[in-house]
Amino acid sequence: NAGVMQNPRHLVRRRGQEARLRCSPMKGHSHVYWYRQLPEEGLKFMVYLQKENIIDESGMPKERFSAEFPKEGPSILRIQQVVRGDSAAYFCASSPGQGEADTQYFGPGTRLTVL
Amino acid sequence: DAKTTQPPSMDCAEGRAANLPCNHSTISGNEYVYWYRQIHSQGPQYIIHGLKNNETNEMASLIITEDRKSSTLILPHATLRDTAVYYCIVFNSGSARQLTFGSGTQLTVLP
């Protein structure tokens, strides 16, 4: 049973380019979460999505960042016009969406480096 | 979600039990205690969770005090591969979906 998959694992972009990070949840999971870990800092929640819906984006930067989880295919975290401060590890998690103890399982992360 | 307090670092000898404490004195009655760990910048790994009763799985045991104000994660026979940052999080997905990661405890297993 494959876990949460993220790709690419490493991504290098120049300032001003776009970055697209993909996340495929575990089989049977319909809820996806994105977290960001800046260098030498803790993980911070960004956004929570269900299929075709953004449920909570309270942790998303107001500009340049967007997320989607389409009916078919992986969840995408998109960063437009990247800046050096976007360099971080981006982790996706998924959960089945059941009950009050809805455990989130994390992927290996995408490490974004902005030159 | 309630805040948690963990020691910043701990050492443990290989083969011995590692006991990681967590204080969560403001935990609500319906909040679960979750433990994750992060090995050297890999994705956080779920370990175990519990509400009131003690729990055990193939990775660890979780001991929650009767008043639920603190808990201890026990790794019964620590190995070098258990060296990681361990996070204690209180959480109820019925109220908020985001996990709030604090600073955690850096556990170093020594040979």
| Amino acid A2: pLDDT | 77
Partner residue opposite B42 with nearest CB, options A35, A58, A108? A108
Whether the CB-CB separation of A109 and B43 falls below 8 Å is answered with: yes
Check residue A41 and give its pLDDT.
Answer: 87
Number of Cβ within a 10 Å radius of residue A42: 16
Q: Tell me, yes or no, if A44 comes closer than 8 A to chain B by beta carbon.
A: yes
**Between the CA of residue B90 and those of A36, B9, B68, B96, B107, what are the distances in Å?**
19, 20, 11, 11, 20
Residue A81 C-alpha, separation from nearest chain B C-alpha, in angstroms: 25
User: What does the block give as tokens for B17?
Assistant: 């039990």
Q: How far apart are CA B22 and CA B84, in angstroms?
A: 16
Residues of chain A with pLDDT under 50: none
Residue with tokens 């494959």: A2
pLDDT of residue B96: 76
Q: What is the pLDDT of residue A97?
A: 87
B9-13 and B18-23 as β-strands: parallel, antiparallel, unpaired? unpaired
Question: Residue A111 has what pLDDT?
Answer: 97
Residue A16 pLDDT: 97
Rounded (5°) CA angle A77-B99-A112: 35
Write out chain B's pLDDT in tens, 111 residues: 558 999 999 999 999 999 999 999 999 888 999 999 999 889 999 999 999 989 999 999 999 999 999 999 999 999 999 999 999 999 887 777 889 999 999 999 999
Report how far residue B106's alpha carbon sits from residue B109's, in angstroms, rounded to the nearest whole number.
Answer: 10
B81 touching chain A per CB within 8 A? no
* Amino acid B1: pLDDT: 56
Torsion angles phi and psi, residue B35, rounded to 5: -125, 130
